[in-house]
Amino acid sequence: MAITTGKKSAITGAVALLAVYAAFSLLPASNEDIEKSLFQQPIVARADQGTFDIAIIESGILEARRSVTLASELPSNKAKIIFLKQEGAPVNPGDVIVKFDRSPFVEDIAKLTAELSDARAALAQAEEELQLTIQQGKANTESITHDLEVARLKHNKLKDAELPLRRAKSRNDLQAAEQKYRLARKKASSMKDLLDQGFTKRHEYEQAKVAIDAAGAELELAKQQDHLLDEMIAPGELRQSELKLSELERKVAEQKKVSQHKMALKNAALIRLNHRYDELKKSLKSAEAMLDKTVLTAPVPGFVVYKKVSVQGEMRKVQVGDSVWQHNGFIVLPDMSEIITDLKIRETDIAQLEVGQTALVRPQAYPNMLLEGRVETIGTLATGKNEEMPRFLVRVAINGIDPKLRPGMTVRARIQAAHLKDVVRVPVEAVFYSGDQAVSFLWKMNGIEPVEIETGSSDGHFVVVTKGLTGGEKLLLHDPRKVLLDEPSS
């Protein structure tokens, strides 16, 4: 035991010391009067035996489990407020909370509708021009292609029919001229023989010689014509025909490129007009959607709460006439169909709590209203580390919603941690320590006696004693080692 026998003797003398104090009218003179005075101070308490409900009591703030934040989806330069629902007013789904000025969007819709009509007409004209360009290009290409086919047919005819026939005729003419020349020479030779024999006249022989010259001239001419046909005329005509084919083929290719270029230009213009038409349609649809968003309605039941936001360089709640920033939430609708309260529980009490334990919650605004709830979650991280004792957040879900409740109301919650039967409990002020050993000091008529105890559950005000006390004992609420012996406890 941490308190020695010598110390016990010193403690026993406390009664005598109190009697001395009584002589100076500090306490009643008798031990009975001293005991009575100690309970009145109070300096002494009694160890109770019986039923002990361990409850943890803390304050909290009512909050909605869910809340919806409303914000403008309009451009900030067009989100001018012309109507606001009164703050704190209850709302149901679909109720109007905020109205913004519609006129900018009505003007946008009228302007976009006119521009869309013009774009539709321009698009129709561009489509007609594209079709006309396609038809013209097709007609021009077909015309030149036809000329090319005709030229190709002529070329093939020249190469495969006309020139071979002309060559054949030239060969025949040359052969005929050669035959004629040979016959003329043969005739002249015969006439010479006849002349020498005296059977013909000289002028007949001279005529035969002239015929030779004429046939020779014809033969030479036939040779020249055949040579010209083979070396110059036929190749020239064939080359000219080939050049014409090449020129027509080039024109066909060029015409196709021209047609494709013109169609590409028309198609590009059509695409641009289509893009502008689509953009105008989207802009019109967006403007119509913006017009619908000039009214904010409640998506859930709740109460209107306005947040402080930056308005014209200052933090305040919005008013009619203000313009608000896009996507900057300025209204909160707490859904009070499910409410909770978060309690900050001391670390000395947290071990006694379990999820599912019953809690009784009383709003301070309505002292006669008692709500039931249950422990829903127990935090794992301490908060308030700068405080004297760390605390843990414990969330209590509240059953049975009353329409009078509002978010932000202060409540007092009592969590039933345990219900113990036939136990001994003492005030926490009656428990002291010598090292790790818990000690209580019994107040007896003949002195003060320390007793070792073992403790159990506590609610912060009382603690269960599982060993060392049986109930009914009178215990000091102050450490006599400090008061009488001037000895600090361990």
- Specify the CATH number of the domain 106-291: 1.10.287
φ and ψ at residue 336, rounded to 5 degrees: -85, 15
Q: Return mean pLDDT, the chain.
A: 85
With a cut of 50, say whether residue 205 has pLDDT above it: yes
Cβ atoms within 10 Å of 195's Cβ, excluding its own: 16
The first and second tokens of residue 392, run together, are 């843990």
Reference 159, options 215, 226, 60, 235; nearest CA is: 235
- pLDDT for 387: 58
Top pLDDT among 144 and 385 is at 144
- Specify the CATH number of the domain 72-101+296-329: 2.40.50
The first and second tokens of residue 234, run together, are 């036929």
Q: How confident is the model at residue 386 (pLDDT cuts 50, 70, 90)?
A: low
Condensed to tens digits (0 to 9), the pLDDT of residues 242-300 reads 999 999 999 999 999 999 999 999 999 999 999 999 999 999 999 999 999 999 999 98
Q: Report the interhelical angle of 5-12 vs 14-23 (nearest 10°).
A: 20
In percent, how much of the chain has pLDDT > 90?
60
- Measured between its terminal Cα atoms, the distance across the chain in Å is 12
Q: Residue 369 in contact with residue 388, Cβ under 8 Å? A: no
- pLDDT for 483: 58
Q: Is 481 exposed, middle or buried (0-12, 13-18, 19+ CB in 10 A)?
A: buried
- pLDDT for 181: 93
Please compute the mean of the pLDDT values over residues 204-227 and round it to a whole number: 91
φ and ψ at residue 66, rounded to 5 degrees: -125, 150
Q: Residue 410 in contact with residue 59, Cβ under 8 Å? A: yes
Residue 282, classed as helix, strand or coil, is helix
Strand order of the β-sheet with 96-100 is: 81-84, 96-100, 295-297
- C-alpha 456/C-alpha 466 separation (Å) is 6
- C-alpha 365/C-alpha 362 separation (Å) is 9
HEC states along 141-180? HHHHHHHHHHHHHHHHHHHHHHHHHHHHHHHHHHHHHHHH
Domain ranges of the chain: 5-65+335-483, 72-101+296-329, 106-291
Q: How far is CA 400 from the centre of its chain?
A: 37
**DSSP string computed for 103-144:** HHHHHHHHHHHHHHHHHHHHHHHHHHHHHHHHHHHHHHHHHH
Where do we find the tokens 């976009």?
Answer: 112
Where b means 16+ CB within 10 Å and e means fewer, 424-461 reads bbbbebbbbeeeeebbbbbbeeebbebbebebbbbbee
Residue type, 106: V
Condensed to tens digits (0 to 9), the pLDDT of residues 119-165 reads 999 999 999 999 999 999 999 999 999 999 999 999 999 999 999 99
Domain 5-65+335-483 listed as CATH 2.40.30.170: yes
Domain 5-65+335-483 matches domain 106-291 at the CATH topology level: no
Please compute the mean of the pLDDT values over residues 85-113 and round it to a whole number: 93
Condensed to tens digits (0 to 9), the pLDDT of residues 433-446 reads 998 999 999 988 87
